[in-house]
Structure 1
Amino acid sequence: MLYGIVGVVLLLVAWQWGSAAVGSETALPSVPSVVLALGTLALETTFWGEVAVTFGIALLGWGIAAIVGVLLGVFVGTSVTVRAATRVVLEFLRPIPAIVILPLVMLILGPTPEMSVFLIVFGVTLPIAAQTAAGVESVDPVMRNTARSFGMRPAEVLWSVVLPGASPYIGTAMRVAAPITLILTVVAGMLGGAPGIGSSLSIAQLAGRTEDIFAYVLVLGMMGLLLQAAAVRTERRLLHWHSSYRKGE
């Protein structure tokens, strides 16, 4: 924690030095001016509404993508035939950034929260599915065969053996996807006009309010830290029984 505080202080000092060196508040505002702008925003009820909307959209998209991605990953990982039939398609779709389909989604759904949620689901479902499938494939076949030899049905093997064995992969995928959902929410607001901080950030940019732009960036950074911390804490709490997490303790 001490090193983290030192790192933040050094960053602020470098920021302030850069602002003084540039000598233009419109190019790089000083730290006090951005803090003042942030305080002004914090006094507005609309600002907190934007924060809540941004968090809500990110969490909803994250939840839908998690359900769809895990189900798809289990389906692909447990069947050799399905894996062979879908590998090319999944590998083709996975590198495509979600921002590519933004114009099409805007045309269909418009600048709405639904557009942001769809963009998030498209952006993180496939990475979650790929990581889940890898986790399912990594489960020791001996464990599966042992479970079957004890008379366990396929559904019981999946629930009691496969999913627990793949849970570290799924947990990692969910943790990595968490900040990406926030990024996609902001992008949908900035470029697509969807509600949230992204839209306000775009308006501040058009109006030339540099201090507000940097204030929003700080807010988004803090939101990202909170979301990542919540994802890590949830992952450790749910998977505390696994050996890989007990070693970390």
Structure 2
Amino acid sequence: MTRSRILSTLLGAAGALTALAVWQLAATVGPLAHAPLPSALQALGAAGQLLGTAELWQATADTLVMAFVGLVAAAIVGVGLGVAIGTSPLAMHATRGPLEFLKPIPPIVILPVVVLVLGPTSGMGTFLVFFGSFIAIAVQSSAGVFDTDPVTRATGASYGMGRAEILGRIVLPSALPYIGTSLRVAAPTSLVIAVVAGLLGGGPGLGQSLLMSQISGNQPRLFGYVLILGALGLLIQWLSQWGERRLLHWHPQYRKADHA
């Protein structure tokens, strides 16, 4: 690990500890001392107790399965659709408006309809993750394919490459940074959507556990789940960044970062 990475890790840890200290002071002797907000130590204690329960691990597994299956399906459909659109300027311009229109629509908008059709099931959560991820992946993938250097394509054709070979050896490697970025951004988003599916849609997972803790009025337990979700989000973010670096280790941006 380089000195810059060690320094950034230490600074991140210091920031987290500072935030917990501020939370503790605000909830004990500060302006929130008489509010229902538990202290940081109470929330950490509740999180520690939750780690020893089968309920937490089952809910975590349910949430991660929904997030992972939905993200993989979104990646397959999104990349495939993006490549198909990006290889045709006509299709690129024809679909830009509808895709840009759909991209900012949050999955929560269609949540009532999906719950009505699929019920409060893991399938409902998986579909919401898919809907919330595949459009952004398709847009980024099509942009990466469309922005491939035309001179490079022409050079490949001049060497006798067919369309399929140009697509596999020139276009897709050129579009990989766009695809990798879209997947890195979609990974933590998929976790958020999977939690929302349980919190508002009644599906299984950590979202439902959050809702039950809120209904029962167990504030330390509620914030214990929040802390665990935050740690899980950090882990997924780190894994997505690691996967992106591994996928694009040949890219100049990542070679420069590895030697920084």
- Scaled to the shorter chain, the TM-score interval is over 0.9
Q: Cα offset for 1:38? A: 1.2
In the TM superposition, 1:1-249 aligns within 5 A as 1-20=9-28, 21=30, 22-24=32-34, 27-249=36-258
| One-letter code aligned to 2:53 | E
Give identity over the alignment, percent.
49
Deviations 1:52-104 (A, max 9, x none): 11111111111111111111111111101211221221121111111100000
Q: Cα offset for 1:172? A: 0.5
Query: What stretches of structure 2 of length at least 5 have no aligned partner?
Result: 1-8
| One-letter code aligned to 1:214 | F
Q: Cα offset for 1:151? A: 1.2
- CA-atom RMSD in angstroms: 1.1
Aligned length: 248
1:41, 1:245 → 2: CA distance?
A: 38
Q: Cα offset for 1:148? A: 0.8
Deviations 1:28-64 (A, max 9, x none): 1012211221122112112111111111111111111
Deviations 1:190-239 (A, max 9, x none): 00011000001011111111111110110110110110111111111121
1:123, 1:70 → 2: CA distance?
A: 14
| One-letter code aligned to 1:91 | E
Runs of 4 or more, structure 1, over 3 Å off, are none
| One-letter code aligned to 1:5 | A
1:225, 1:56 → 2: CA distance?
A: 17
Partner SS state of residue 160, structure 2:
coil
The answer (yes or no) to whether the contact 2:89–2:146 under 8 Å persists in 1 is: no
Q: Cα offset for 1:243? A: 2.1
The answer (yes or no) to whether the contact 1:16–1:31 under 8 Å persists in 2 is: yes
TM-score (normalizing by structure 1): 0.97
Partner SS state of residue 204, structure 2:
coil
